């Protein structure tokens, strides 16, 4: 995990970048608005959808030999290759699914039910797809589930908490890369390295759905056996999830059509439009890289593009927390609580969990909406956030999740709205 220098895009470049997105500052239902709910599904690239009608209208199967079918087939293969470049996967297989959650269940189930061992390790920070898949399949396999606790100060999980639960009989570690509730980023490379000192044979599965849109990822460098991402969290469409699996996972017994290659997991006909959209996402990231002098390699352009995305987001994060000019940041606004961000915060994704004194989270979200700002509440009554919020001792939070296409001006509008809301008389 590498710290990133906060560095904002120029206003000129950001304007050019924002032109590539649908509904960047308004939508057809609510009109003008600031969209700070990207953890729930980011803005969409125009290029992602521009050929949808043509592609889905064609009757041809991508596996057929005619010219149109070959065009569709090449689209699928290019999408797979681009996903490999995006996550740094030189070997292994790519697992397509309708959702990232389904991919997690499929990969976790295959590992837990086929790999010897008596226990599986996970954390309290996990998304329900990871946490529940571990419990479900461990129950079926008769394995103990060991759960590392939450660090309430920074909203992450300490390395020692995870390692203390791993032994030579641990078949799998399932761990989240970054939380879509607290913004905490875990040091996956160090976790994997240290875990394998205890058990060299352990399988490691990473939920990277939240983190992949915000920073460069390299599964070979991380040394993990599985990693899952969701295009809709990074400027793409819903209804498509992708997982990477290592060669040794690919060779495990899994659902398959007999007679096909044993280490290939895709079953059935691919949706070319889904893979087309993925390639357009990678094109966009690579385009950013070229604007900052990246070389001829597509992977190099991706790495540079993601580094610049991270730099702008870290700048926005600092602005949100500490303000700029005469505008105070959230840490300085009386009546605002910023959760899981210590005084010297470690590197984290651009997600903040806040509360305003005298207001419950849904009331605050409604007031933000009235001011033209889209954020979202996460509540302890929801299965998607219950476990983490209970551990933090919070009934709910307002989740604020901008992205690299958001501007300094939008951050300042949000800070002004927050300051105004915090100064309102308490009921």
Distance CA 168, CA 158 (A): 20
Per-residue pLDDT at 425 = 80
Residue 203, C-beta contacts closer than 8 angstroms, at least 6 positions apart:
111, 115, 171, 172, 173, 225, 226, 248, 249
DSSP 156: B
Model confidence pLDDT, tens digit, residues 324-336: 988 999 999 999 9
List C-alpha distances in Å: 215 to 245, 304, 361: 20, 10, 29
List C-alpha distances in Å: 236 to 24, 113, 204, 231, 233: 14, 33, 27, 5, 7
DSSP 235: T
The contacts found for 76-84 with CB under 8 angstroms, 24 or more apart, are 76/270, 76/272, 76/275, 78/275, 78/279, 79/274, 79/275, 79/276, 79/277, 79/278, 79/279, 80/275, 82/278, 82/279, 82/281, 82/282, 83/229, 83/242, 83/244, 83/278, 83/282, 84/244
Does the predicted model carry a pTM greater than 0.85? Answer: yes
Q: For residue 312, how far is the Cα from the chain centroid?
A: 17
Per-residue pLDDT at 254 = 87
- Domains for the chain: give ranges and CATH numbers: 11-46+299-422 (3.90.1150.10), 52-281 (3.40.640.10)
Per-residue pLDDT at 291 = 96
Indicate the SS3 state at residue 15. Answer: helix
Q: Is-contact 337 355, C-beta < 8 A?
A: yes
Length of the chain in residues, anyone? Answer: 427
Model confidence pLDDT, tens digit, residues 144-155: 999 999 999 999
**Nearest Cα residue to 246 out of 95, 76, 104:** 95
Looking at the chain, the number of H-run helices and the number of E-run strands are 15, 17
Residue 389, C-beta contacts closer than 8 angstroms, at least 6 positions apart:
181, 378, 379, 380, 395, 396, 397
**Nearest Cα residue to 248 out of 91, 134, 140:** 91
Low-confidence ranges of the chain (pLDDT < 70): 1-2, 345-346, 427
Distance CA 386, CA 394 (A): 9
β-bridge partners, 376: 399
Q: Is-contact 211 179, C-beta < 8 A?
A: no
**Nearest Cα residue to 353 out of 330, 384, 373, 383:** 330
Model confidence pLDDT, tens digit, residues 295-306: 889 999 999 999
Q: Is-contact 143 112, C-beta < 8 A?
A: yes
**Nearest Cα residue to 308 out of 321, 336, 283, 289:** 289
List C-alpha distances in Å: 320 to 18, 245, 404, 411: 20, 37, 13, 6
Per-residue pLDDT at 348 = 92
Indicate the SS3 state at residue 339. Answer: strand
């Amino acid at each position: 995990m590498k710290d990133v220098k906060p560095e904002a895009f120029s206003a000129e470049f950001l304007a050019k970048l924002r032109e590539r997105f649908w509904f960047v500052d308004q939508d057809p239902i609510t009109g003008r608005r600031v969209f700070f709910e990207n953890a729930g599904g980011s803005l969409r690239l125009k290029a992602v959808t521009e050929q949808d009608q043509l592609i889905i209208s064609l009757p041809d199967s991508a596996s057929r030999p005619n010219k149109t079918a070959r065009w569709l087939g090449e689209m699928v293969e290019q999408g797979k290759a681009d996903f490999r470049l995006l996550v740094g996967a030189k070997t292994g297989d790519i697992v397509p699914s309708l959702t990232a959650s389904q991919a997690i269940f499929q990969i976790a189930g295959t590992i837990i039910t086929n790999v010897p061992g008596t226990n599986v390790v996970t954390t309290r920070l996990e998304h329900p797809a990871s946490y529940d898949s571990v419990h479900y399949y461990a129950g079926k396999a008769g394995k103990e589930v060991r759960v590392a606790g939450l660090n309430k100060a920074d909203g992450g999980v300490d390395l020692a908490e995870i390692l203390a639960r791993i032994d030579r009989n641990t078949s799998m570690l399932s761990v989240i890369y970054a939380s879509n509730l607290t913004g905490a980023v875990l040091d996956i490379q160090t976790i994997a390295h240290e875990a394998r000192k205890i058990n060299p044979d352990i399988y490691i599965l990473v939920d990277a759905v939240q983190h992949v849109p915000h920073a460069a990822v390299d599964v070979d460098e991380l040394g993990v056996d599985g990693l899952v991402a969701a295009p809709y969290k990074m400027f793409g469409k819903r209804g498509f999830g992708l997982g990477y699996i290592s060669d040794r996972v690919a060779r495990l017994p899994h659902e398959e059509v007999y007679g096909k290659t044993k280490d290939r997991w895709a079953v059935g006909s691919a949706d070319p439009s889904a893979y087309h959209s993925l390639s357009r996402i990678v094109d966009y990231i690579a385009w950013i890289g070229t604007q900052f002098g990246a070389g001829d390699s597509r992977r190099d352009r991706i790495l540079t593009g993601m580094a610049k995305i991270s730099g702008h987001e870290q700048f926005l994060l600092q602005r949100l927390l500490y303000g700029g000019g005469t505008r105070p940041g959230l840490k300085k606004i009386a009546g605002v609580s910023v959760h899981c961000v210590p005084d010297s915060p470690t590197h984290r994704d651009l997600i903040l969990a806040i509360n305003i004194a005298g207001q419950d989270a849904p009331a605050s979200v409604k007031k933000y909406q009235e001011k033209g700002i889209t954020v979202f509440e996460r509540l302890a009554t929801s299965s998607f956030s219950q476990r983490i919020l209970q551990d933090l001792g919070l009934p709910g939070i307002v989740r604020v999740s901008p992205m690299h296409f958001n501007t300094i001006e939008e951050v300042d509008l949000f800070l002004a709205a927050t300051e105004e809301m915090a100064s309102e008389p308490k009921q």
